[in-house]
């Protein structure tokens, strides 16, 4: 446990020095602040328009942050040869990867929280509306990004950052549209398309199961079971991803 925390904290500190992190945060802050121009044209729906824009923006920036940093998290260690200082210590592969995931997750969590806090303060100051439910979406989005972090780390064990980034982005898109693909396969009724849609639906991450953005924006009730399902589903899926990543990473020459 001590080694996992040490690797995680070190990964978090390295991430803080990454220029990508600063660029994402500044861009998000400025875009959320610039969304004030939408207030005059929203005609009574200002809080909903601004919140919808802000939530979508934070989601996109979180994905970009995860992909740009997560897909390089192992590659940089190997390129800088710092991986050898780790493997010479009594640290198991699983501990090393869990530590990397912990550090990346803590990094993404910090930026997400600051951006969501910006949206909340913006709504309170400029719209005079206390929108507490923005933190509900923060809860669900965090566990979505936890899975995407795991995907990025798994891919980085055997591919280059560019390839990992492209595949991670594709998986994220599929994860948000898998329900629609399954419904489309039932309408098209082509066996091969049905097999592919079912594979994507059951094997790849499915973020449509925990997407409550509509309920948040329109103040609709949220199924209480989702508050337990989201973390359970995410943790089990991440354990599955790390298990595969460990088996692949153990085959590298330095282990």
CA atoms of 157 and 243, how far apart (whole Å): 12
CA atoms of 105 and 151, how far apart (whole Å): 12
Residue 127 is predicted with a pLDDT of 67
Residues 6+ apart with CB under 8 A from 24: 61, 64, 65, 68, 111
State pTM to two decimals. Answer: 0.86
In this prediction, residues 98-121 reach a mean pLDDT of: 86
Give residue-wise pLDDT tens across range 159-210. 888 898 899 999 999 888 877 777 776 777 777 777 877 777 788 888 888 8
In this prediction, residues 100-105 reach a mean pLDDT of: 91
Token pair 């948000």 in the structure block, residue: 176
Residue 46 has, within 13 A of its CA and on its CB side, a CA count of: 18
Residue 144 is predicted with a pLDDT of 92
Mean pLDDT, all residues of the chain? 80
Q: Any idea what the Cα angle at residue 195 is, between residues 59 and 208, rounded to 5°?
A: 20
Give residue-wise pLDDT tens across range 10-30. 888 887 777 766 676 677 666
Higher pLDDT, 142 or 196: 142
pLDDT band at 42 (very low <50, low <70, confident <90, very high): low
CB 103, CB 7: distance < 8 Å: yes
Higher pLDDT, 74 or 21: 74
Most confident of 118-127, 191-200, 226-235: 226-235
CA dihedral 37, 38, 39, 44 (to 10 degrees): 160
Give the C-alpha distances (Å, rounded to integers) separating 42 from 50, 54, 55, 129, 134: 9, 14, 17, 15, 19
- Record the tokens describing residue 235, joined without a space: 């943790």
Residue 127 CB neighbours (<10 A): 18
């Amino acid at each position: 446990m001590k080694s996992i925390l040490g690797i995680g904290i070190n990964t978090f500190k390295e991430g803080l020095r990454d220029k990508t992190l600063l660029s994402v945060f500044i861009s998000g802050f400025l875009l959320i602040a610039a969304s004030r121009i939408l207030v005059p044209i929203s005609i009574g729906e200002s809080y909903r328009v601004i919140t919808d824009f802000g939530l979508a923006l934070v989601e996109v920036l979180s994905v970009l942050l995860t992909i740009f940093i997560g897909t390089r998290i192992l590659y940089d260690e190997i390129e800088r040869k710092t991986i050898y200082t780790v493997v010479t210590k009594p640290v198991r592969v699983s501990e090393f990867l869990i530590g990397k995931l912990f550090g990346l997750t803590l990094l993404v969590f910090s930026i997400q929280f600051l951006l969501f806090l910006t949206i909340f303060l913006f709504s309170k100051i400029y719209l005079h509306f206390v929108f507490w439910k923005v933190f509900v979406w923060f809860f669900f989005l965090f566990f979505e990004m936890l899975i995407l972090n795991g995907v990025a780390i798994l891919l980085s064990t055997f591919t280059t950052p560019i390839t990992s980034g492209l595949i991670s982005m594709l998986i994220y898109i599929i994860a948000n549209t898998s329900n629609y693909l399954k419904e489309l396969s039932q309408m098209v009724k082509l066996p091969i398309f049905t097999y592919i849609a079912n594979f994507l639906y059951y094997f790849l991450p499915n973020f449509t199961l925990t997407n409550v953005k509509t309920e948040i924006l329109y103040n609709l009730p949220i199924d209480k079971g989702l508050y337990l399902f989201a973390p359970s589903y995410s943790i089990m899926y991440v354990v599955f991803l790390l298990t595969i990543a460990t088996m692949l990473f153990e085959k590298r020459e330095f282990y």
